[in-house]
Chains A and B, each alone.
Chain A
């Protein structure tokens, strides 16, 4: 047996005084970290199998379990950290690209945390959202540049198709395949209940979810999986995915192992085959090409649905967004470098792309400077973690935000970042039937509705504090923001002043 250079990252700590050997931990761990030892008459664990997903911890009825980080250490080295060394060992063992899941965990700047929010005092009154009307409903889509009237002076309806959002939050793209049927069912039901939208990702739309079409954004990505006339017609909007924040510049790969009968049918590919999305759209090499696809999709749906173009936040995002606005798209979605994924090469996830806060500010400013901000709505994603992030995003210029990691957390995800193994103990990022059933959509939907409703309450409270009573009055209202501990350059890009200024 070859030497394993790696020591397990976590330790399973079991309080044997509390353990009642009910074996729930053993039955619930798809990684088989726990087992009952009949000779010892107690539970034992193999920490090398533990991924720190907390399924056992959450279900243990006597709170006898906890997972701790191992204090096993390499010789201290600020350059060759334990992580850096372990990654070399892993690659020397496997010869492969390092894979990771979910968002960027590296300690890179989080600008949300360096932005502070204003409130009214004395000279302008705050509003109590519990007593006075407070509007968090918003509409996404191209806004008309001017009012048109007919010969009799009546208004001509020149409004492009719009998406109505009762809260400025949408669930971002996660394909059926990367996440489970029950996760999709939870998102679809919650989107319908909240009056917002969820996004199919590029995995097609399962036939069971067509009834939720009015609350579905259907995605067309480089693999074109599951795209056909009925699919396009089913959604409330169509999203062209050019890139994803977690892995800008590369495509996707759903292993054949996960392509069972249902996914095969939904994606329209043979069972057991790998679903590989190319890095580029092979028919898009310019803004003009993009324009062709935008209008092909509009033509196919009789110009009744807004078209979204989603890109990853990369270095020249503002110029790209300007091109997209001119391509005929109704909505631009920008995904920052902390956005999640079911699997991405670690180096790309961690070091490709830029923070969404900077990208958003740059895009909004560029579109305003060019006088085309009203031609598109801007939706951002890539780690909006709470209502404060949401409010800051809107004040920086976003029309609404996409959330996915937060939504998965609501469904039980513990960010163990091992989605790529397909053994999600929470029934989210897996296709194994016995694991998928662990996510009851009735519970999932309720928790999602709770989360978004709670954020909506918080958003209203904060808006009220600022004396603002509608999303429209908050959008792009950067005077409501102040930076803390930021350089002048960062403040200039964010378009905000420093606290105290």
Chain B
């Protein structure tokens, strides 16, 4: 299955992936409309210290601990990717604690959000990958 992979060697720490992620999942058709004067809560996040930086998002593990831990059944594997049904999420935060990568976070509404490879939004392909200026984030079969 194709997944999002990150190559730290080429990450510039420009944080554009975060903004493309926030835009992709905003439901808006225009980046300015989606993000202007808006504090973003992206599903991919740059970890950085000194000169090292890299993006972290869901690995879509084959045996995801988040899915195992989910008490409400909101987290499911669909077509190989881990998806979340926010209507079903009770916001207990178990998945956040379970995930060894820190790839899940809370939305403003209290439910949990995570990378769903842009499969549910209008882009269809991960927008962070398309927006990365240095091919530090790739979407490929490995």
Contacts and interface: CB of A to CB of B under 8 A. Distances in A.
A61 B135 CA distance: 16
Interface string B124-142: 0000000101111000000
B15 A27 contact: yes
Interface stretch (A219-227, A305-313, A369-377, A438-446): A438-446
A440 B134 contact: yes
A145 interface: no
Given A20-B19, A27-B14, A59-B16, A440 B135 contact: yes
B46 to A, nearest CB: 10
Tier of interface size on chain B: 20 to 34
A385 interface: no
| Secondary structure call for the A interface | loop
Contacts of B10: 437, 440
A23 B15 contact: yes
B14 A24 contact: yes
B61 interface: no
Interface stretch (B29-37, B69-77, B79-87, B103-111): B29-37
Contact of B12 (A18, A22, A28): A28
Contacts of A37: none
Interface residues of A, number: 20
Contacts of A316: none
B102 interface: no
**Max chain B Cβ within 10 angstroms of own Cβ: one of A17, A23, A24, A61:** A61
A20 B14 contact: no
Contacts of A437: 9-10, 12, 134
A248 B36 CA distance: 53
A22 B135 contact: no
Contacts of A58: 133
A433 interface: yes
Contact of A27 (B9, B13, B23, B35): B13
A440 B10 CA distance: 7
Contact of A18 (B9, B32, B134): B32
A311 B24 CA distance: 54
Contact of B134 (A24, A27, A61, A443): A443
A453 interface: no
Interface string A3-27: 0000000000000011110111001
Interface of A: 17-20, 22-24, 27-28, 58-59, 61-62, 433-434, 437-438, 440, 442-443
